[in-house]
Amino acid sequence: MSLRHAILGLLTFEPMSGYTLKSRYFDKSVAYFWPADQAQIYRTLQALEADSAVSSETVENDKRPNQKLYSITGEGEQELRTWLAAIHPPITQKDGFLVQLYFARMLSRHQILRVLQAQRDTHRQLQDHFDNLVLPAADTATMKRQVRFGGLTLDYARRRERMLVEWLDACIDAVQEWPEQENA
């Protein structure tokens, strides 16, 4: 997945400025599994425009600064459809916490438990967040279909966080049962 394709997908909803794309759409959906800051989004919009995947128009405004609205082009939609239909191999995710856990033999049991409990607390907060997240009501056929697929990604987030909390609880239980080791 790339930020490029996330932006193209969001632009299928409506033409929008980079700010609107980030604040109204990206931060409330895609950012949960593909985070990006405003600068990355603007750089990607510029690259998409240079590749003719999006076009832009400047909308003049008397009361606020002018806005640059981006729209997906036919070329951009074809690129997105091709990418969506492709079979992508799973990627190995970088996870600093798993590196920490892998070498945790160098810590005392107290230190290991502190790290594990902090991770568990973080994932419990995420679990609560996703459990309380409500998808918006859909008023068009396109948005009804989008909400269905948004629901599948939300289900993934909920299951992932539940699994991580359960796994971290098991890790904590296992470490608590091990005899105290000397500090490294």
Instruction: Tell me the residue type at 53.
Output: A
**Where do the domains of the chain lie?**
3-85, 96-177
Residues of the chain scoring pLDDT < 50 = 183-184
Residue in 68, 83, 74 with CA at minimum distance from that of residue 3: 83
Counting Cβ atoms within 10 Å, is residue 8 exposed (0-12), middle (13-18) or buried (19+)? buried
> What kind of architecture, by CATH, is found in domain 3-85?
Orthogonal Bundle (1.10)
- The whole-model pTM stands at 0.80
Tell me the residue ranges of DSSP E strands in 42-181.
Answer: 54-59, 67-72
The 10s digit of each residue's pLDDT in 82-117 is 999 999 998 888 899 999 999 999 999 999 999 999
